[in-house]
Structure 1
């Protein structure tokens, strides 16, 4: 298992799509703060203020990054024949999928922290980092970054499941983007007629990811914030293994 994970991490480092995705995310992270810096002469955000105010925008980066990386890093191996070769190597398919999920998650997590780190660094160079405003939890920064990585892993597990289902880069990217962007509206709309879906949505990573950017989090909310993404990773991972084991790879 260790060698399988090492192989996936090696492929990730060498993967051109991963490098391009990191570059695109970094460029957007540099451009985004400048729009506010030059358009607002009266209000200059410090690095700390920018991180708090715009942390929620990182959710779009996560969704885009997971969808794109799922299609180019995993699903593309079906088209090139690499997946067929790997699946016929004699290794258990469950172990193969788990190793791919770990490598994919590491790549997605790397992409997810580019925006908060790069943009906050840029704003800090322009206006100084400043201080956390009154009322903001002193552990906001490490907590926000830690939860960002954890929730990205949850999204990555769902994205990896889609790659096992569609086995095609275009379909995987397209469906993942539509799913991640529309699932909030779908569950929210269904919840108006069927209360069960409201409960499902309230305790899903799609809803709780918005809480990452909260200035402070009560001790009673923290268990749900930690357990939901962990359970999502386990559930989506097991479903992905089940689909991958039964999939006929051509």
Structure 2
């Protein structure tokens, strides 16, 4: 199992789309930091904490692009290349293969999601100091926000992987995932205004809670939801993915 995971991580490392996204996000983070620092409002200092906030905002779009592109090329693309068939015949169980692929995919999404916030935070800290927050230790907020970013990246990866691994065409995965992720929140907000039941459901999903990971003050109830919902999502969709992959005919 360890060798299988290493193999998947190596394939992720060699995946051109993953490398392209990392390079793009690094450039974007540097440009964003420079623009905000030198062209932003003089009333708001671009500190490390401010950079983290901007990075978290940009990550809403970064997440959708990363899930679609890496899911399409890294997971779905293996069907067209025949790699999935080789993996299935390698002697490992379907559960082990899927788990390794999901772990590598989630690791890739986590790295991509941390790129912009970490660089923006570092840039702001170098230029104007780390900064401070009222009623909350800035360093604790920084670590908490990164921890939530990691947790929610893994949760979204577990959702998309169920579809991406069982889809044999990269373009279909990229298009479908982007379409769903770009419009899911908007449609859900509209449905929430029409149905109290759906509103309750939506407010207890990772889609809604992900938008709240940057909040400064959290009640005990909010903190519990922010932790437990993504963990439950990972377990549920990992199980669903394994079941789907077991039944899938690999050609």
**Structure 1 and Structure 2 fold alike (TM over 0.5):** yes
Corresponding residue number in structure 2 for 1:132 = 132
- Match of 1:199, SS? helix
Q: CA contact under 8 A between 1:108 and 1:153: conserved in structure 2? A: yes
Q: CA contact under 8 A between 2:55 and 2:120: conserved in structure 1? A: no
Higher mean Cα deviation, 160-169 or 112-121?
A: 160-169
Normalising to structure 1: TM-score of the pair?
0.93
**How far 1:127 moved relative to its partner?**
2.5
Q: CA contact under 8 A between 2:51 and 2:123: conserved in structure 1? A: no
Structure 1: tracts of 5 or more residues without a match: none
Corresponding residue number in structure 2 for 1:34 = 34
Q: 2:50, 2:165 → 1: CA distance?
A: 41
- Match of 1:220, SS? helix
Q: 1:244, 1:55 → 2: CA distance?
A: 33
Q: CA contact under 8 A between 1:49 and 1:133: conserved in structure 2? A: no
**How far 1:26 moved relative to its partner?**
0.8
Q: How many residue pairs are counted as aligned between the two chains? A: 249
**How far 1:64 moved relative to its partner?**
1.4
Q: CA contact under 8 A between 1:49 and 1:132: conserved in structure 2? A: no
Q: Can you list the C-alpha shifts for 1:163-188, whole angstroms capped at 9, x where unaligned?
A: 13422211111111111121112222
From the superposition, tell whether residues 21 and 52 of structure 1 become closer, same or farther in structure 2 (CA, over 3 Å).
closer
**How far 1:137 moved relative to its partner?**
4.4
Q: 1:61, 1:203 → 2: CA distance?
A: 22
Higher mean Cα deviation, 15-24 or 108-117?
A: 15-24
Is residue 249 of structure 1 aligned with residue 229 of structure 2? no
Instruction: Map residues 1-250 of structure 1 onto 2, 5 A cutoff.
Output: 1-40=1-40, 42-43=42-43, 44-52=45-53, 54-129=55-130, 131-138=131-138, 139-250=140-251
From the superposition, tell whether residues 196 and 14 of structure 1 become closer, same or farther in structure 2 (CA, over 3 Å).
same
- Match of 1:42, SS? coil
Q: CA contact under 8 A between 1:188 and 1:197: conserved in structure 2? A: no
From the superposition, tell whether residues 41 and 218 of structure 1 become closer, same or farther in structure 2 (CA, over 3 Å).
closer
RMSD between superposed Cα atoms in Å: 1.7
Structure 2: tracts of 5 or more residues without a match: none
**How far 1:37 moved relative to its partner?**
2.4
